[in-house]
Amino acid sequence: MKNSFKIIIASGVLLFSLNACTKDDLNLTPTNDLTADKVYATPAGYKQELVKLYASYALTSATGSDNSDLGGINAGFSDFLRLFWTAQELPTDEAVCSWGDIGIPELDNSTWSADNVFLRGLYSRAVYQITVCNEFIRESTPEKLAGRGITGSELTNVNRYRAEARFLRAFQYWVLIDGFGNPPFVTENDAIGKVSPKQISRQELFSYIESELKAIETDLAAPRTNEYGRADQAAAWALLARLYLNAQVYTGTAKNTEAITYSSKVINAGYSLKPNYKDLFLADNDTNNPETILSINYDGTKGTNYGGTTFIINAAINGDMNPKSYGVPNGGWGGNRTRQNLPALFPDPNGNADKRGVFFGTKSAVDEIGVFTDGLRVTKFKNVTSAGTTPASLNGTFASLDFPLFRLAEQYLIYGEAVLRGGSGGSQAQALTYVNSLRQRAYGNASGSVGALTTDFFLDERGRELYWEGFRRTDLVRYGKFTDASYVWPYKGGAKSGAGIPAYRNLYPIPTADLIANPNLVQNTGY
């Protein structure tokens, strides 16, 4: 794969002309110094605007890391991945943070409210991403393209860009359906600024995401033929497989057969496992990587921000851990680490057996949330290359490590879990083959291979394979363990030994600010 698009995205801050959304409302339109007719006058203009859509995943604003597209949240916290990671990991058995910033202790202790700044930030970031995608899609209709004289191969290219914008919008609607359930809903067909957006039910939103991903399938590039960092057909299939695996949660109806169908499409699309697990999370993971299907791309000198992999790396180490060895010589923020449940999934938490367990420290128990050395630190993410070199890093703090949104290993695990949950079209024998391929990579030999599978096995195996990659809350909800008292972790429910929490907390609340701004919205039950 080529890394040219990664470079363009990293430089996207120089091109980013979208102004910030000033309120949490999908009924906003980005403003430009130039009119749309000028911006979209040429195929090159469309490509530039596509770059901005992808760049908005990796940047916090058009004007650098000290500013944000979102109101009401510190710019350093407002990066998409940082917000998504915080919502998916901190309230679970995989992570805890020692910082006392407003909103973090609530997530550590499972006591978040509708005013939680990080949850509002994630909701607002998803709304913002949808808003900018809607604008691109409005400007790339057949009528608009014909009126601007875009024809032939250039028309084919712009239609592909449009399909990618629809994918990026569907992804953010997935973020909302998973975390918030019943968000406001607007597409390119809705008038701008006329009425407040209507609220959509979780079941209706599921159907919409499903239909969008299927509708764009033939317009997207074939798997592994697009520029690195751009969505293709396999990305759409991977999101569909993830959507179907969680269909019982989202709609009340299981769709495990469909999860098998679409995970199989990805598996058979020419991807393969990267031989060394650790290399997936190093700064040159944009090269020679046949496993990653789609990533968020970061650059340590261009378009930097305090979220993304810069956050994941720095927040998990402190100055006593030799930050230089992690590729951030002036970094080390000392905040995030594991709760003891995560290292307990590994036969040897220091990685001598299952080498996926990449931890630092000697005390796995979290007795005090505010003590950074309580809990092992996760060190699988590093801003160094497989050759041991450190990429250029602004101020010695920012990372060039790309973050995988989808990779083949997840699809192996979706396939296996869906088979064990009764889906048709797959086999336990094939599921076992996929699982053991992951475990053989992890152990370096066949000593970790398993002979039989259970549904519960997949929750633990996902913990071992995908930890700190933004899956855990979703997985625990699907298994009925996120709120239930039958499975606890330190400080779940605010109790040191852990306690169950009300089932309504399987969904996050609609932020209070948006309820006030939009009279069409109804709060999720319990908040």
pLDDT 10s digits, 266-300: 999 999 999 999 999 999 999 999 999 999 999 99
Checking if the pLDDT of 20 tops 60, the result is no
pTM confidence score: 0.94
Phi and psi (nearest 5°) for 278? -60, -25
> What does the pLDDT read at residue 434?
98
Checking if the pLDDT of 46 tops 70, the result is yes
**Packing angle, helices 152-179 and 43-58, rounded to 10:** 20
Look-up of token digits 């169908």: 261
Residue (of 72, 98, 86, 293) closest to 179 by Cα position:
86
> What does the pLDDT read at residue 69?
86
pLDDT band at 25 (very low <50, low <70, confident <90, very high): very low
For the chain, give the percent of residues with pLDDT over 90: 87
Mean pLDDT over 500-524 rounds to 97
Give the helix/strand (H/E) hosting 164: helix 152-179
pLDDT digits (tens, 9 = 90+) for 175-192: 999 999 999 999 999 977
Q: Is the dihedral of CA 268, 269, 270, 275 positive or negative?
A: negative
pLDDT band at 433 (very low <50, low <70, confident <90, very high): very high
pLDDT band at 329 (very low <50, low <70, confident <90, very high): very high
User: What's the whole-number average pLDDT of the chain?
Assistant: 93
Facing residues of 12 across strands? none
pLDDT digits (tens, 9 = 90+) for 348-406: 866 679 999 999 999 999 999 999 999 999 999 999 999 999 999 999 999 999 999 99
Residue (of 369, 310, 320, 324) closest to 490 by Cα position:
369
Q: Between 201 and 76, whose confidence is greater? A: 201
Checking if the pLDDT of 11 tops 90, the result is no
CB 316 within 8 A of CB 377: yes
CB 504 within 8 A of CB 525: yes
pLDDT digits (tens, 9 = 90+) for 239-255: 999 999 999 999 999 99
270 vs 249: CA distance, rounded Å: 31
Question: CATH number of the domain at 1-219+482-527, please?
Answer: 1.25.40.390
Checking if the pLDDT of 2 tops 70, the result is no
> What does the pLDDT read at residue 510?
98
Structure tokens at 522: 């109804």
Checking if the pLDDT of 6 tops 80, the result is no
Mean pLDDT over 164-171 rounds to 98
> What does the pLDDT read at residue 29?
45
pLDDT digits (tens, 9 = 90+) for 133-153: 999 999 999 999 999 999 999
